[in-house]
Structure 1
Amino acid sequence: MAKGYWIARVDVHDPEAYKAYMAANGEPIARFGGRFIIRGGRHEVAEGAARARNVVVEFPSYQAAVACFHDSGYQDARALRIPVSEADLIIIEGHDG
């Protein structure tokens, strides 16, 4: 079974308030078997446009990745992020080949 991933690009407007989102998202992500592969860190824009922060979360399956996003625990955490950042987040199935 192919793994599932969240790929997020984020511009944070209030880093102090964003910490509340970071603290709140860990429990629901872990509950669905998710683990952070990338959480910020140095990056280089090789082509196209980018945001200031990049995040990749790996889940055991695509279904787990989708379910976690729609879970009320993650939605509560997300509500903390929305007013203090702009984000692009995709949920994608990994290659199983």
Structure 2
Amino acid sequence: MSAYWIAHVTVTDPDAYAGYQALAPAAFVAHGARFLARGGKAEVLEGPALDRHVVIEFPTLADARACYDSAEYRAARARRAGAATVHVVIVEGLPD
């Protein structure tokens, strides 16, 4: 069963955030991730306006969690520290 990262990101330091962007793709590739939405046009219908929205599909909930916990993604998160406000949720998909 698929699982999804749903992330809301407000970048506060684009130069520092670029370090995250350079490292994070290796973690996503290693865990079978597929981007479904990444920073495109968005319309807020309820709740606070947030800058950037990302939806990433993983083959399984275990893959989604393993990606977040991986050494590659920990290194990317360290590069992002202080450069953005980030909210990430992992959501299990519906049965196939």
TM-score interval, smaller chain = over 0.9
Q: Output the CA distance in 1 between the equivalents of 2:38 and 2:31.
A: 18
Normalised by the length of structure 2, the TM-score is: 0.93
Equivalent in the alignment of 1:63? 62
Q: Is the 8 A contact 1:9 1:50 kept in 2?
A: no
Q: Kindly report the root-mean-square deviation, in angstroms, between the aligned alpha carbons of the 2 structures.
A: 1.1
> Is the CA contact 1:7–1:57 (under 8 Å) kept in the aligned structure 2?
yes
Larger mean CA deviation between 49-58 and 62-71 belongs to 49-58
**Unpaired segments of 5 or more residues in structure 1?**
none
Q: Could you list the runs of 4 or more consecutive aligned residues of structure 1 that deviate by over 6 angstroms after TM superposition?
A: none
Partner amino acid, structure 2, of 1:5: Y
Q: Secondary structure at the match of 1:37?
A: strand
Aligned with 1:95: secondary structure?
Answer: coil
- Map 1:67-86 → 2, pairs under 5 A: 67-86=66-85
Listed one character per residue, the Cα deviations across residues 53-82 of structure 1 (whole Å, up to 9, x for unaligned) are: 111111001110011101111000011112
The residue aligned with 2:51 is 52
The residue number in structure 2 matching 1:37 is 36
Identical amino acids, percent of aligned pairs: 42
Write the letter of the residue equivalent to 2:7. A
Q: Which runs of 5+ in 2 are unaligned?
A: none
CA-to-aligned-CA distance 1:3-42 (integer Å, 9 cap, x gap): 0111000110011221221121001111000111111111
